[in-house]
Amino acid sequence: MHRAWRLTKRRLIASIPVLAIVILGTFLLMELAPGDAVDAYLVSLGGGDSGLAEDLRQSYGLDQSALSRLWLYVSSLARLDLGWSIIFNRPILDVVLERLPNTLWLMGSATALAFTLGSLLGIVAGARPGSALDRVLSIGSLTLYAVPGFWLGLVLILVFSVQLRWLPTSGIETIASGKAGIARALDIARHLVLPVASLGFIYLALFLRMMRAGMGEVWRQDFVLAAKAKGLSRWRIVVHHVARNALLPLVTMLGLQAATMLGGSVVIESVFAIPGFGRLAQEAVAGRDAPLLMAVIIVSAVLVIIVNLLVDIAYAWLDPRVGSSEVASK
């Protein structure tokens, strides 16, 4: 437990400068944009006179220099104030917190699906390298890896919603169904099947390919030869010696893919009309809501930092060699 705590502390301290760069970069990017939040707000009102614009700029501090506005922004971020959304006309933090659970469910389920199914199929493919089954899985995963998630989503909608009518086409739950408890959870689960598949299948292919490649390397190690010499059954060698050692790099991949998966959820949530955090990015762009877009980028960066921290802790727990030397040297 001590080790995990020390790791957490070190990682969090190291992420402060990185997060500062993200905030600065996002701020600079938004400075490049023509017009400011007041312009966008006036457009949403249907216009206004220059006096009103002047007053609004003054009250939001937009008439000050870029440096003092940056200071204003950072100090409000420090108070967990993400600003005011133009299109929702509400505090951004409230909107983000409302949307985040949907996206976390989507990403969590997609990761679970991709990791379990991908590594299992990878074990099947890597157990007998070069076999017919291995070839089929390799070609299949390569093709799957090339499929854009949003297009896969449309194809799945076409098959399972339009043709077979098994699953709903969009949304996160049936509107005004009055369902509660387990019935509501099942309803949400039914709505999530297609989005989770669309988001997760590309990572399933990735994990399958990584597992297979990793097993290929482990097969050549001496301890596998030793296990063979001991006369262990092939299946026992595959599960206990080869797959086990090939699994660790996949855990690292889990953290590396967090950012791309978050990016993917932007499009998937748009395809399935899921009111999630990813869709906020698209809504912010469509509504020219710069404060909201900035907040979405910064919150995503924080999310990715947290996911990577969790992955590191899991890795340290799975592989006791990690971090133990640092503890010994202290």
Partner 1 sequence: MKPLLRRFASSPEGVAGALILLLLAFAAVLAPMILPGDPAAIVGRPLLPPFADASFPLGTDQLGRDVLTRLVYGSQASLTVGFSSAVVAIVVGTLVGTVAGLTGGLVDEGLMRVVDAFQIVPGFLLALAFVSVAGPSLAVIVLAIGLGAWTGPARLARAEVLSIRERDYVAAARVVGMHPAEIAFREVLPNALPPVLSLVSVIVAAAVLIEAALSFLGLGDPNSVTWGGMIAEGRNLLRSAPFLSIIPGLGLVSAVVGVYLFGEGLVEGLSIRGRRL
Binding-site ranges for partner 1 (CB under 8 A): 17-19, 21-22, 25-26, 29-30, 32-33, 142-143, 145-151, 154-155, 157-158, 162, 259-260, 262-264, 266-267, 270, 281-282, 285-286, 288, 293, 296-297, 300-301, 304-305, 308
Q: How far is the CB of 4 from partner 1 (least distance, A)?
A: 21
Return the closest-CA partner of residue 249 out of 205, 303, 305, 207.
207
Nearer CB in complex with partner 1: 191/209: 209
Q: How far is the CB of 235 from partner 1 (least distance, A)?
A: 27
Nearer CB in complex with partner 1: 52/100: 100
The answer to whether residues 242 and 278 touch, using CB atoms and an 8 Å cutoff, is: no
Q: How far is the CB of 140 from partner 1 (least distance, A)?
A: 11
3-class DSSP assignment, residue 91: strand
Q: How far is the CB of 312 from partner 1 (least distance, A)?
A: 14
Task: Give the integer Cα–Cα distance in Å for 215 and 217.
Answer: 5
Q: How far is the CB of 270 from partner 1 (least distance, A)?
A: 6
Nearer CB in complex with partner 1: 84/145: 145
Q: Which residue has the tokens 């080790």?
A: 3
HSE at residue 328, side-chain half, CA atoms within 13 A, is 6
CA dist list (Å): 246 to 231, 243, 287? 21, 5, 46
Q: How far is the CB of 281 from partner 1 (least distance, A)?
A: 6
Nearer CB in complex with partner 1: 138/174: 138
Task: Give the integer Cα–Cα distance in Å for 319 and 165.
Answer: 46
Torsion of CA 309, 315, 321, 327, to 10 degrees: 20
Q: How far is the CB of 133 from partner 1 (least distance, A)?
A: 18
Nearer CB in complex with partner 1: 35/59: 35
Nearer CB in complex with partner 1: 146/182: 146
* Residues whose CB falls within 8 Å of the CB of residue 173, separated by 6 or more in sequence, listed in order: 179, 184, 187, 188, 191
3-class DSSP assignment, residue 247: helix
The answer to whether residues 262 and 278 touch, using CB atoms and an 8 Å cutoff, is: yes
Q: How far is the CB of 36 from partner 1 (least distance, A)?
A: 12
Nearer CB in complex with partner 1: 230/250: 250
Rounded to a whole number of angstroms, the CA Rg of the chain reads 24
Task: Please give the structure tokens belonging to residue 317.
Answer: 């727990």
Task: Give the integer Cα–Cα distance in Å for 305 and 313.
Answer: 12
Q: How far is the CB of 230 from partner 1 (least distance, A)?
A: 26
Task: Give the integer Cα–Cα distance in Å for 98 and 90.
Answer: 12
Nearer CB in complex with partner 1: 14/186: 14
Interhelix angle 244-271/92-127, rounded to 10 degrees, is: 140
Nearer CB in complex with partner 1: 186/263: 263
Task: Give the integer Cα–Cα distance in Å for 235 and 186.
Answer: 37
